[in-house]
A and B are shown apart, each in its own frame.
Chain A
Amino acid sequence: DTEVTQTPKHLVMGMTNKKSLKCEQHMGHRAMYWYKQKAKKPPELMFVYSYEKLSINESVPSRFSPECPNSSLLNLHLHALQPEDSALYLCASSQDPVAYNQPQHFGDGTRLSIL
């Protein structure tokens, strides 16, 4: 069982819809991450939150808007997405944002389909 919980597991939305992906961890980790993964490809980093502040934005389009309400929760707000945004969205967390030796723990992801 994963210690990082993502909801929903599947999401189908139209290009004009607004939806949110949610991620929760109760391991006391202070860094949280959003990744996008296309089929047969490695995950691509989108955002990093360090101590609840956005520390890295990998030039992600503004139609993706991250939010970190507290140290346990991470949201990804979606608006006006494109068909090419269909992918598996993975959330991860790690104990210390700057400690190189801390592994990242991943959730099972939300599979997003844009109609």
Chain B
Amino acid sequence: AQSVTQLDSQVPVFEEAPVELRCNYSSSVSVYLFWYVQYPNQGLQLLLKYLSGSTLVESINGFEAEFNKSQTSFHLRKPSVHISDTAEYFCAVRVQGGKLIFGQGTELSVKP
């Protein structure tokens, strides 16, 4: 069965510092991976996706994620975070039948 593991439940970081949110997946077939962000009192917003092609994918707000097949990872990174990046981040894999399998989430807390 496919699964997603987010290794850190909470990541506190100071403003303008770099951050990495870790995500590992297990799958025996081709994978389609997503990062979603959930700001307080809102729904989930698609941050970026890996479907095929280049293993490095970027979002419009400075986040990037690298698909690593050998390590079965899809870690999310940002070189310099802002207070406004404070949110819950979910890694997810799309599986047969259209389901999304989510990780448990990582709470990113950016402090001034």
Q: Which residues of A contact B (CB under 8 A)?
A: 2, 4, 6, 31, 33, 40-43, 45, 48, 50, 55-56, 90, 92, 94, 97-98, 100-109, 111
B residues less than 8 Å from A31 (CB atoms): 98
Q: In chain B, residues 74-97, which have Cβ atoms closer than 8 Å to a Cβ of chain A? A: 88, 90, 94-97
Q: Given contacts A100-B32, A111-B41, could you give 9 more A-B pairs where the C-beta distance is less than 8 Å? A: A6-B43, A42-B90, A48-B97, A50-B98, A98-B98, A104-B100, A106-B44, A106-B45, A108-B43
User: Contact check: which of B44, B97, B107 meets A43 at CB < 8 Å?
Assistant: B44
A residues less than 8 Å from B97 (CB atoms): 48, 55-56, 98
Q: How long is the Cα–Cα vector from A104 to B102 in the complex, in angstroms?
A: 12
Interface centre among A40, A97, A104 (most CB of B within 10 A): A104
* CB of B26 to closest CB in A, whole Å: 16
A residues less than 8 Å from B41 (CB atoms): 108, 111
A residues less than 8 Å from B45 (CB atoms): 2, 106
Q: How long is the Cα–Cα vector from A19 to B36 in the complex, in angstroms?
A: 29
- A45 lies within 8 A of B100 (CB): yes
User: Contact check: which of A50, A102, A107 meets B43 at CB < 8 Å?
Assistant: A107
Instruction: Given A55-B97, A100-B30, decide whether A42 and B49 contact each other with a Cβ distance below 8 A.
Output: no
